[in-house]
């Protein structure tokens, strides 16, 4: 059950980031569509944010349980000196997940809203500050998405091995 919940939460998390990155946000580039897309993001943002944080909470809980059940999250496993490839993948996943949480928090709480506010004040998006804020928010969102996909692969390696 824990693995199923973990996979479902990962699907929700990664799927929502991919949909936003490739199906919604690119329309902000079109000045004619920008007001509608901003309104869509403003109205759906809180719901998507809650869904995302919920998925991350499920991932933390089920991920810790799954790693412990597989013997990776024990004192002996974490301090073992020859680091096996699977242990390295588990460490990479733990560190990458901490990075995702940091990126998501920065984007959700600061950079995304700041970029949206700047676009509302500067609808053409030409002001230097607007461009800077949009670039920061976009880089955080894309970086988090790429890191999320990489962690899916790390999870497969942990469960199935490298080859």
Domain residue limits, the chain: 2-160
* Helices 128-160 & 2-19 angle (0-180, nearest 10): 150
Residue 84: phi and psi, rounded to 5, are: -80, 160
User: Is the distance from CB of 139 to CB of 106 less than 8 angstroms?
Assistant: no
Task: Provide the pLDDT confidence category of residue 12 given band limits of 50, 70 and 90.
Answer: very high
User: Is the distance from CB of 119 to CB of 130 less than 8 angstroms?
Assistant: yes
pLDDT in tens, 116-151: 899 889 888 889 999 999 999 999 999 999 999 999
Q: How far is CA 10 from the centre of its chain?
A: 10
What mean pLDDT comes out for the span 75-81? 68
pLDDT over 80 (residue 84)? no
Position 89 scores a pLDDT of 77
pLDDT in tens, 87-126: 777 788 889 999 999 999 999 999 989 998 998 898 888 8
pLDDT over 90 (residue 11)? yes
Spatial separation of the C-alpha atoms in residues 10 and 151, rounded to whole Å: 9
Task: Provide the pLDDT confidence category of residue 53 given band limits of 50, 70 and 90.
Answer: very high
Take residue 154 and report the two structure tokens written for it: 């790390």
Which residues are CB-contacts of 121 (< 8 A; sequence separation ≥ 6)?
Answer: 127, 130
User: Is the distance from CB of 154 to CB of 89 less than 8 angstroms?
Assistant: yes
């Amino acid at each position: 059950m824990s693995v199923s919940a973990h996979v479902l939460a990962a699907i929700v998390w990664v799927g929502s980031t991919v949909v936003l990155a490739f199906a919604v946000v690119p329309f902000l580039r079109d000045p004619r569509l920008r007001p509608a897309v901003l309104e869509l993001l403003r109205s759906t943002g809180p719901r998507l944010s809650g869904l995302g944080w919920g998925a991350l909470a499920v991932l933390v809980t089920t991920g810790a349980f799954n790693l412990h059940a597989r013997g990776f999250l024990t004192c002996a496993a974490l301090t073992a000196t020859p680091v096996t490839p699977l242990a390295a993948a588990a460490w990479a996943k733990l560190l990458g997940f901490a990075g995702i949480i940091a990126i998501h928090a920065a984007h959700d709480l600061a950079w995304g809203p700041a970029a949206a506010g700047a676009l509302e004040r500067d609808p053409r998006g030409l002001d230097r500050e607007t461009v800077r804020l949009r670039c920061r928010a976009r880089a955080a969102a894309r970086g988090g998405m790429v890191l999320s996909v990489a962690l899916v692969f790390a999870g497969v390696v942990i469960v199935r091995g490298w080859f």
